[in-house]
Amino acid sequence: MTARTKDPHEAEAMLAEAYLPNRVDRLGEGPLGLRLDVMRLDSATVGLLSFGTETRLRTTEATNWAKPMPKEALMAWLACRQPPAAHVDG
């Protein structure tokens, strides 16, 4: 899933749905410009979060952060991080 917003309250709701309840404070002069790319792999959430300006992100204390990741989910995550393999017709 990819989500974008310039609204701090909408950003808080998106991040809370993907991760933890939070507070987003825009510190810079430009627009907030949140971009969130996130996917769930079994019990894990993997994502990339960026802002268009300096931002402070505060979250509640994580209580269930150390869950084992199944081998299949870990392999899928690692495969996403690797460059595509070259294919040679032959």
Long-range contacts of 75-83 (CB under 8 A, 24+ apart): 76/41, 77/41, 77/44, 77/46, 80/46
**3-state DSSP helix/strand/coil % of the chain, to nearest 5:** 25, 30, 45
Domain residues of the chain, as ranges?
A: 2-81
Q: What is the pLDDT confidence band of residue 83, given thresholds at 50, 70 and 90?
A: low
pLDDT in tens, 4-36: 999 999 999 999 888 888 999 999 999 999 999
Give 2's strand partners. Answer: 37
Q: Where are any strands of DSSP class E within 6-54? A: 22-26, 34-41, 44-50
Record the pTM.
0.64
pLDDT in tens, 28-65: 999 999 999 988 877 778 888 899 999 999 987 766 65
Q: How many CB atoms lie within 10 A of CB 12?
A: 17
